[in-house]
Amino acid sequence: MQFGATTLTPAEESLRAEVRDFLAAELPADHRPALGFAGRYDPDFSRKLAARGWVGMAIPPEYGGHGRSAVERFVVAEELLAAGAPIGAHFVADRQTGPTLLHFGTEEQRRRFLPGIAAGEIYFSLGMSEPDSGSDLASVRTRATRVDGGWTVTGTKVWTSEAHRNHFFAVLCRTSPMEEGRKHAGLSQLIVDLHADGVTISPIPYLDGSHHFNEVALEDVFVPDDMVLGEIGSGWQQVTSELAYERSGPDRWLSTFPVLREFVREGAGKAVADDEATVIGRLAARAWAIRALSLSVARALDAGEVPAIEAALVKEVGTRFEQDLVEALRGAAETEVDQGTGTLFQQLLAEAVLTSPSYTLRGGTTEILRSVAAKGLA
């Protein structure tokens, strides 16, 4: 396992300036920042980004994309997250589904889905985690049974972000019985229409009542053969590769950045206590270090590597940082408020207190990520 030192080129810094100018023009003066990619769902904003070429950036032009690099996408995502832009509609399809279709999808699937993803008009969820499985992803019990012309799928998925509003999700399921000592074998991925007969979506609300996660029950849902993603039986290898995109980006350490920014803004021009300055300094130093790791993974992806272990480490340190930031600012501000009251900082802090426990769950729990990293260091 290794992280290479990297810096942004003048062209990449110029792209950053473009995004900042766009956000200054498009976000209203009273914009309330979203916390992370799951914070706000705004299809109109997603389409505006797509019109600027900032959705599906790494998708080749022949599929409606722009053929740009993972690092360029990193720069755009970093600015959007730092500003708290409403990117929840397109983000998973852009970050993860698009690259997966490019690597494993059929030509027909690429031409069907990728132009819509790049246009900010087709949205995907992920169908990996299941009830009672904890973090053991390979213990999948959702089954797909061979039928004439395709498969019927039965099982339940949980923590399925935005399934109630998205169009499709990629379901990890068992297409052949589990073999003794080979639980990773016999798994496949199928693209399932979230509006198909037999799909039931139930909300898993946050403590504040907001709705992002879902439980998705599948009861004899028919999936045609042309919606098999990749090779039958290769689901585990595909998902492992896919997680390098899910776990390594700025969305894994910038979710609570708007809270820190508002804390600093509200203190601008005021005398800052030594302990507050120390808190800000420590948080900024950690964020910069994690950013360097995350950017290194983006460079590795551009080089054709599959840095799954490095991505797991970035996700582990990143999402812990997001939660630590909330607790550090609670202590520094010495404030407890109800959501929707107080200053913008206080409102964002209250929202973060209620939603940040999910950060070390989605994309892999801390314990599993440490296990992945430890195996890479052995």
Burial degree of 281 (CB within 10 A; 0-12, 13-18, 19+) = exposed
**Within 10 A of 298 (CB to CB), how many other CB atoms are there?**
24
- Active-site entry in 130, 246, 262, 276: 246
DSSP-assigned beta bridge partners for residue 221: 153
How is residue 3 written in tokens? Answer: 């992280």
How is residue 232 written in tokens? Answer: 């039958």
What does the alpha-carbon distance between residue 317 and residue 223 come to, in Å, rounded to a whole number? 38
Assign 203 to helix, strand or coil: strand
Rg (CA), the chain: 21
Element (H, E) at 22: helix 10-26
**Within 10 A of 193 (CB to CB), how many other CB atoms are there?**
15
> For 120-154, b where at least 16 C-beta lie within 10 A, e where not — what string?
bbbbbbbbbbbeeeeeebbebebbbeeeeebbbbb
Is 130 annotated as catalytic?
no
CA distances from 111 to 2, 150, 191, 211, 369 (A): 36, 20, 14, 32, 34
Residues classed as catalytic = 246
